[in-house]
Amino acid sequence: MSSKEKRGPARRAGKRAKGVDNRRLPYVIKHLRRHYQLSDAPVVTFIAQTTREPYRVLASCILSLRTQDGTTTEASKRLFSLAPDVYALARADAAEVQAAIYPVGFYKTKAPQLVAMAQRIVEDFDGRVPDDIDTLLQFKGVGRKTANLVVTAGYGKPGICVDTHVHRITNRWGYVDTKTPEHTETALRGKLPQRYWLEINDLLVSYGQTLCKPLSPMCSTCSIEKWCPRIGVEKSR
% of the chain at pLDDT higher than 70: 92
29 half-sphere exposure, CB direction, 13 A CA radius: 16
Q: For residue 229, give every residue at least 6 positions away whose Cβ sits within 8 Å of its Cβ, in sequence order, or none.
A: 10, 11, 16, 17, 18, 19, 172, 173, 174
- pLDDT given at position 111: 98
Q: Provide the mean pLDDT of the chain.
A: 90
Q: Tell which wins on pLDDT, 97 or 18.
A: 97
Q: Is the pLDDT of residue 159 over 80?
A: yes
What percentage of the chain carries pLDDT values higher than 90? 77
What would the pLDDT profile of 44-57 be if each residue is shown by its tens digit?
A: 777 776 777 999 99
Per-residue pLDDT, 9: 39
The more confidently predicted of residues 8 and 16 is: 16
Predicted local confidence at residue 15, as pLDDT = 60
CATH superfamily of this structure's domain 43-154? Hypothetical protein; domain 2 (1.10.340.30)
CA atoms within 13 A on the CB side of 92: 28
Residue type, 6: K
pLDDT of residue 17: 79
pTM summary value: 0.81
Q: Give the torsion through C-alpha atoms of 185, 191, 195, 199, to 10 deg.
A: -30
Q: Which residue has the higher pLDDT, 156 or 7?
A: 156
Domain boundaries, the chain: 43-154
pLDDT digits (tens, 9 = 90+) for 184-222: 999 999 999 999 999 999 899 999 989 999 999 999 999
Cβ atoms 147, 57 nearer than 8 A: no
Contact between 97 and 83 (Cβ < 8 Å):
yes
Closest-CA residue to 86 (of 149, 144, 154): 154
pLDDT-derived band at 16, boundaries 50, 70, 90 = low
- Mean pLDDT within 140-163: 91
* Exposed / middle / buried, residue 41 (Cβ in 10 Å: 0-12, 13-18, 19+): middle
Q: Residue 7's pLDDT is what?
A: 40
Q: Does 233 score more than 50 pLDDT?
A: yes
